[in-house]
Amino acid sequence: MRRFCTACVAFIMLSLLMQGCGFKDIDKRFFVVAAGIDRTSNADKPYRITLRLAIPSPKAEPGASKSQLESIDTATIAEGVRLLKGHVDKEIDFGHCKVIVLGESLVQSDYVEALTWMIRRRDIQSIATVAVGKPSAEDVMNANPPSERYPGNSLFLSFGTEGTDSPFTLQMFLFDLERRYTERGLDPFLPVIKRDHMTYMISKVAFLDKQKVKLTLSNEETQMYNQLSTQFKKSSIMATYKGKPIVALLTGIHRSYRIIEQNGQAVIRMKVRLRCILEQAPRGLYNSDWRQIEKAFSDQYSTKAETMLDKIRNTGVDPFGFGLRYRAMHRGSDATWNRWVKLYPNAKFEVRTSVKIDGTGLIK
């Protein structure tokens, strides 16, 4: 009995010496819903960190979202986040940070350090969306859409599948960005966000190499890239027929390609099959020969696709992953990769498009 009492007293004394787990309640935390990283002109403090902190609200209706914006210039990203803790009265938590915006000045110089920080930090989810903020990440973070129900909800819906399905919006997850950064034969891309008064505008995509941005496509080229890379069918195609523009809504798309070598040159032959319904066209097309219209769509789409692919190749980036396909088709050695590095700058693209019109809409 004496031993049992002694053991109980010792256990109680040890329990008093033990520290707590450090857990803090939700009301003692500030949840970061979006983060922005910019490059400054100050060599001593080259980074500007902007965090959008959610303020809980009992209301869940359009315009009821409340958030707090905090910014700081710092020498390193990690130290800047710690310094921002002195600006707020609660613990900063990145567990709900679903969007990370990299400023245009940052991606035009070197985005590697920012990517390394995002990957190393344990409370940033790998499914967070990464984008480019134009002209800066801070400017994008200052947007406050009146339709927002929750803090950061507009950006979440813009990139997710629950909201809009825009053919001009591509999604880049953090884990995919890291994979494309480390993989040979596959380069990253990032959607471009621009503030339009109180809302966001996402209609372009930027291509990056292993260090910085190399090319930004136009709106029309962004839609075509989305069609060819992800086979996104909720989009449209346009052609000119007898001097008049015709717009067709895609109902189906299939893309495949082969890489062959001819006389020391890489030839990438791509086949594209499209099914569509005319959405905007002159009257009287119902009784005309649809084969001529289909041929016009096919020829013009192939020409535009080859022009876009040449434009991407000339900048030295490979967001489609042609190099990765070439490595998979050949022996996985450094010699194979070195050969592709020599072949890709002079690669030739041959796009064959087959367009099938299913109908002309309700108006004949």
Three-state SS string across the chain, please? CHHHHHHHHHHHHHHHHCCCCCCCCHHHEEEEEEEEEEECCCCCCCEEEEEEEEECCCCCCCCCCEEEEEEEEECCHHHHHHHHHHHCCCEEECCCCCEEEEEHHHHCCCCHHHHHHHHHCCCCCCCCEEEEEECCHHHHHCCCCCCCCCCCHHHHHHHCCCCCCCCCCCCCEHHHHHHHHHCCCCCCEEEEEEEECCEEEEEEEEEECCCCEEEECCHHHHHHHHHHHHCCCCCEEEEEECCEEEEEEEEEEEEEEEEEEECCEEEEEEEEEEEEEEEECCCCCCCCCHHHHHHHHHHHHHHHHHHHHHHHHHCCCCCCCHHHHHHHHCCCCHHHHHHHHHHHHHCEEEEEEEEEEEECCCCC
Domain match, 252 and 276 both: yes
pLDDT at 285: 77
Residue-level pLDDT at 36: 94
Task: Please determine, for residue 145, whether its predicted confidence score (pLDDT) is greater than 90.
Answer: no
Share of the chain above pLDDT 70, in %: 89
User: Do 50 and 153 lie in a common domain?
Assistant: yes
pLDDT at 332 over 80: no
Q: What are the residues whose beta carbons fall under 8 Å from the beta carbon of 99, sequence distance 6 or more?
A: 33, 34, 35, 128, 129, 131, 152, 155, 156, 159
Task: Report pLDDT for 325.
Answer: 95
Into how many domains does the chain fold? 2
Q: Which residues span the domain enclosing 246?
A: 218-364
Mean pLDDT of 120-135: 92
Average pLDDT over residues 220-244: 93
In a domain, 15, yes or no: no
Whether 148 and 197 share a structural domain = yes
Q: What is the mean pLDDT of residues 126-146?
A: 91
* 198 falls within a domain: yes
| Residue 1 included in any domain | no
Domain-ending residue, one of 168, 194, 216: 216
In this structure, is residue 194 part of a structural domain? yes
Is the pLDDT at 90 greater than 90? The verdict is no
Average the pLDDT over each of 85-99, 113-127, 233-247 and give the range with the smallest value.
85-99
End-of-domain residue from the set 216, 238, 254: 216
Statement to judge: residues 187 and 224 lie in one domain: no
Phi, psi of 355 (to 5 degrees): -110, 130
Name the region of 231 (left: φ>0; alpha: ψ -120 to 50; beta: rest). Answer: left
Q: What's residue 136's pLDDT?
A: 94
Which of 216, 246, 279 is where one domain is finished? 216
Q: What pLDDT is stored for residue 87 in this prediction?
A: 83
Instruction: State the pLDDT confidence band at 68, using cuts at 50, 70 and 90.
Output: confident
